[in-house]
Amino acid sequence: GENVEQHPSTLSVQEGDSAVIKCTYSDSASNYFPWYKQELGKRPQLIIDIRSNVGEKKDQRIAVTLNKTAKHFSLHITETQPEDSAVYFCAASGSGYALNFGKGTSLLVTP
Amino acid sequence: DAGVIQSPRHEVTEMGQEVTLRCKPISGHNSLFWYRQTMMRGLELLIYFNNNVPIDDSGMPEDRFSAKMPNASFSTLKIQPSEPRDSAVYFCASSHIGLNNEQFFGPGTRLTVL
């Protein structure tokens, strides 16, 4: 089955700096890669996703890149703000449609 | 749209009791997923349904766990008998496979088994 590895497990940045979270996956058939943000005590919420026919996607301060050859994808957050503090999960899915999640990255943005 | 609805939001029960968690997916979605979240194991897929049919239940930990989807607007996850190690947050999510794969999560049920 699919195995998704996520790094780092914790990340602390100063407000205004950039944050990068990286994930690797094992199943070359995976074709959908979403990123979820989960605030304490809340549900995971989709913030951006990318499909295998695209190498990069951007939405305001958030961008995701995908390297299918290397089987890795990354989340980039620029100009971080304290409200970006949360746990971020990457995931991958293929023909089975079920999402396989990474273990999460706890991001702390300090003022 | 009200989004994915789960009940109860919190459940505290004693070991050995039966627990039933409920989920109403977003109207029009054809797939429903049950996840369990713990600090140790993260977000794990338990089972998912497509058009009310169970497709993959390989994540269901034991025979104590069972899930049903009698119609397109309702699903249950049952644990019988419950054990302390079942304590976790259980999320239900739904999506429309065929349109896109975006999964929308419900608010979750926090289960505590004493």
Question: What pLDDT, in 10s, does the model give residues A47-57?
Answer: 999 988 888 99
Mean pLDDT of the A65-92 span: 96
Cβ pair A66, A19 in contact under 8 A: no
**The two three-digit tokens of residue B46, written as one number:** 């338990």
Length of chain A: 111
- Round the average pLDDT of chain A to a whole number and report it: 94
Distance from CA of A102 to the nearest CA of B (A): 8
Judge whether A73 is closer than 8 Å to chain B, CB to CB: no
Judge whether B48 is closer than 8 Å to chain A, CB to CB: yes
Q: pLDDT tens, position by position, for chain B (114 residues)?
A: 689 999 999 999 999 999 999 999 999 999 999 999 999 889 999 999 999 999 989 889 889 999 999 999 999 999 999 999 999 999 999 998 776 778 999 999 999 999
Nearest to B43 by CA among A66, A36, A69: A36
pLDDT of residue B25: 97
Judge whether B98 is closer than 8 Å to chain A, CB to CB: no
8 Å CB contact of A98 and B91: no
Residue of chain B with shortest Cα separation from A5: B42
Distance from CA of A49 to the nearest CA of B (A): 8
Residue type, position A84, single letter: D
Cα(B56)–Cα(A47) distance, integer angstroms: 26
Cα(A101)–Cα(B93) distance, integer angstroms: 14
A-chain CB neighbours of B9 within 8 Å are none
pLDDT of residue A1: 73
Beta bridge partners of A106: A10, A87
Taking phi over 0 as left and psi of -120 to 50 as alpha, with beta for the rest, B3 belongs to left
Distance from CA of B89 to the nearest CA of A (A): 10
Cβ pair A64, A74 in contact under 8 A: yes
Judge whether A6 is closer than 8 Å to chain B, CB to CB: no
Nearest to B35 by CA among B95, B81, B83, B80: B95
8 Å CB contact of A44 and B91: yes
Chain A, chain B: beta-carbon pairs less than 8 Å apart: 50
Cβ pair B101, B3 in contact under 8 A: no
Beta bridge partners of A80: none
Nearest to A80 by CA among A104, A111, A40: A111
Would you give the DSSP letter of residue A48? E
Across the interface, of B44, B45, B107, the residue whose CB is closest to A43 is: B107
Judge whether A8 is closer than 8 Å to chain B, CB to CB: no
